[in-house]
Structure 1
Amino acid sequence: MKLSSIAPLAIALTATAQASYINYTTVTGYFLQDEASTDASTFDYTTTNFGLINRTYPSDNPDNDNNLLTQWERFHHHITTLNHLSPPTISYKVLFLGRHGEGYHNAAESYYGTPAWNCYYSLLTGNSTTTWSDADLTPSGIQQAQIAHSFWSHQIASQRIHTPDSYFVSPLLRALRTANITFSDLPLQPSSSSPFTPVIKEFFRESVTLHTCDHRHNATYIHSLFPEWTFEKGFREEDGMWDGVRAESNGAQDVRSKVALDEVFAGDDDDDDGVGMFVSVTSHSGEIASLLRVIGHREFGLRTGAVLPVLVRGEIVGDALEPTGTGTRWETSAHCTAPPVTSVSSGCVCASSAVPVTTPLVTFAG
């Protein structure tokens, strides 16, 4: 008998040794966000029941009064049934992909303009009024996380939604803050950690660019802010991925996103009963875009603070496949050494005295 709490895919993966490969697909027909007709730029998860489509499921029991069950209760039962009926090599999980609320780096990019931000200001640690290295949330970002908290609270009370069984969060400060505001003090599932204690996972971080907002604090500092939270096994004290010079390509990011997703599906971050069927990942726009590519979901941009649920099917298929992104994995990019002359949609123009370089500019702007 296949029980959702035993993580059968992890058992099957162990049985087939290191040569196995998990193939991911998005199972469509359950969320509005899966449909091409849904406009990501105007979609609001708080007014659409997280986008869950009002429909019947093959697992609905006609002998019971389904009117007594909410859409989310019937959906949870359906996912449980899918897992129960599938072979050990297949597993279904619902990923709640949450983007962090607005950070000071987002506000700075809006202020300076994207071209100037990318070629100069993003390489600084901040300006005379604020810091955006490993950016914290702005007041607006805090409010966005509070909206998510209120909506989860409403869904728990009105829809009796099955809250995530496991929680993962990027190690960058804006994601840590968002997760804490969103999920603390909610009546979570008994199967999840209570109080809220997510796993901090390195590979769920934002795309690693030259920008200082992508340079995380060390583990000691993170622990001082959230002492009860758990670091994944092998989490390093210092950030070994960011150097202020190179940026990872989309292919390279997709490789590490798949590694993180493989660990979630295989239950590597839990020593007991696996991660469960409903999984929360609080992350970033670039990383969520990467995860969507890995699972074959259509492109769906999230506004700061938004949440995207996706039903994912993971299947162990044959021998290990050659990973993508093994070509040019990291890239350098020339940038101005002084504020640019112009910042327009067509690009950034450096001052004649500011010869572009490829070395870090980790200093404060005046």
Structure 2
Amino acid sequence: MHLPTITVGAFLALTSLASALYHRPTPPKTHVNYTVVPDIFLQDDPSTVASGFNFTAVNFGLINRAYPTDDDDDDDKTTTHNNNSLSKSTSQWQRLATYINSLNSQCSSNERYTLLFLGRHGEGYHNAAETYLGTPAWNCYWSERDGNGTVTWADAHLTPTGVAQALSVHAFWAHLIHVEHMTPPQTYYVSPLYRCLDTARLTFDGLELPRGSPPFVPTVKELFREGISAHTCDRRSNRTYIHEQFPSYRFEPGFAEQDPYWTALLAETSADQDRRSKTVLDDVFTTDGSEYISVTAHSGEIASLLRVLGHRVFALSTGAAIPVLVKATTLKGHGPATTTQPYTAQKTCAVPPTIRDSTCNDCSCCT
């Protein structure tokens, strides 16, 4: 049998082609940029005062306004969303759902719109302890201990007040779903700290959801935890214990048995907290296509998430929640350069300070 001969030139051409196919250029790195869609919620408005704001008394802060997708021409005209007929008589939440659906159907392929519900846990024993003991004594002495012999606040559980707060929010969600016809969360995430795990359960478990809604099966995500400090309330329990207490909850891949982040008398910087908040948001937004997402977390962590999202400062009391309509845009190239900083050592007092002035947070008031 005669085999065809291959010229040197043809051989080199084939070699070059194979090399080009093998060494295809690596797709450029991307990063996600977050912005807040304005004029949707009262909490977006700089004139809204956070202190004393009762989100359950004002429909979660949803502004009573028209959207571009509203039917402004004919009262009899209707549209549909989730198989529901919509008209001018529909609720503000139904019309918002139509608007969000329209935003996502018309935006570019690298853009998406998601309504985040960021809920703070109910009052925990660590919150009650700080109120009882005073902020200086709490920050500089008691918070580094597991408890005071009467109450334990390491990975704090909810107080009876905290339980009542979560149940009140549960009733509010039931009203939103069945009276306001609001679209409930399609995905649930929760901090690994007990007070959040329990708040999420009390808030969402047992709600009668619309037909076809995903059930309440939250995912425990490590980086939604509170700012990592020397306080023992910020040290989570082990995975085995969490699973025993909340057997229906899912763990994100790689969730460690023991807390890999908390170290006695060390704390992360606020810049590092924002960095990990960006990391966990990026993970959610690149792997979860839900339009409605719930996150149960902490005051400090929610404040960090709001900074990353570009939202104005809006402090939450225990048990409170804030909705944010987010536009996420995936852009080519690396995002702004960041540098991880080492944990910082925390000062403590040998005995509890007797002063109760909350401005003494640096342990300069040690006696």
| Superposition map of 1:254-333 within 5 A | 254-267=274-287, 274-324=288-338, 326=339, 328-333=341-346
Asked if 2 retains the 8 angstrom alpha-carbon contact of 1:100 and 1:174, the reply is yes
Partner AA of 1:306 in structure 2: A
CA distance in 2, matches of 1:286, 1:167: 19
Q: Gapped runs of 5+ residues in structure 1?
A: 1-15, 268-273, 352-366
Asked if 1 retains the 8 angstrom alpha-carbon contact of 2:119 and 2:298, the reply is yes
CA drift at 1:32: 0.3
Runs of 4+ in 1 over 6 A off after TM superposition: none
1:232 pairs with 2:252: yes
Determine which structure has more spread, i.e. the larger CA radius of gyration: 2
CA distance in 2, matches of 1:240, 1:191: 37
Of residues 100, 106, 109 in structure 1, which corresponds to 2:121? 100
CA drift at 1:144: 0.3
Of residues 79, 83, 100 in structure 1, which corresponds to 2:100? 79
CA drift at 1:177: 0.5
CA drift at 1:81: 0.5
CA distance in 1, matches of 2:262, 2:88: 52
Partner of 2:192: 171
Asked if 2 retains the 8 angstrom alpha-carbon contact of 1:165 and 1:189, the reply is no
Deviates more, 1:112-121 or 1:145-154: 112-121
Shift in CA distance, 186/44, structure 1 to aligned 2, threshold 3 Å: same
Partner AA of 2:96 in structure 1: F
- TM-score, normalisation: structure 1: 0.86
CA distance in 1, matches of 2:144, 2:247: 30
CA distance in 2, matches of 1:342, 1:286: 24
1:335 pairs with 2:348: yes
1:46 pairs with 2:75: no
CA distance in 2, matches of 1:135, 1:308: 23
CA distance in 2, matches of 1:18, 1:216: 37
CA distance in 2, matches of 1:192, 1:262: 24
Of residues 154, 159, 172 in structure 2, which corresponds to 1:133? 154
CA drift at 1:18: 6.7
| Superposition map of 1:98-247 within 5 A | 98-190=119-211, 192-194=213-215, 196-247=216-267
Q: Percent identity?
A: 49
Shift in CA distance, 190/265, structure 1 to aligned 2, threshold 3 Å: farther
Asked if 2 retains the 8 angstrom alpha-carbon contact of 1:123 and 1:211, the reply is yes
CA drift at 1:69: 1.3
CA distance in 2, matches of 1:38, 1:291: 19
CA drift at 1:150: 0.3
CA drift at 1:345: 3.5
SS at match of 2:109: coil
| Superposition map of 1:19-34 within 5 A | 19-34=29-44
SS at match of 1:342: coil
- TM-score, normalisation: structure 2: 0.86
Partner AA of 2:97 in structure 1: H
CA drift at 1:67: 2.8
CA drift at 1:189: 4.8
Shift in CA distance, 253/316, structure 1 to aligned 2, threshold 3 Å: same
Deviates more, 1:17-26 or 1:294-303: 17-26
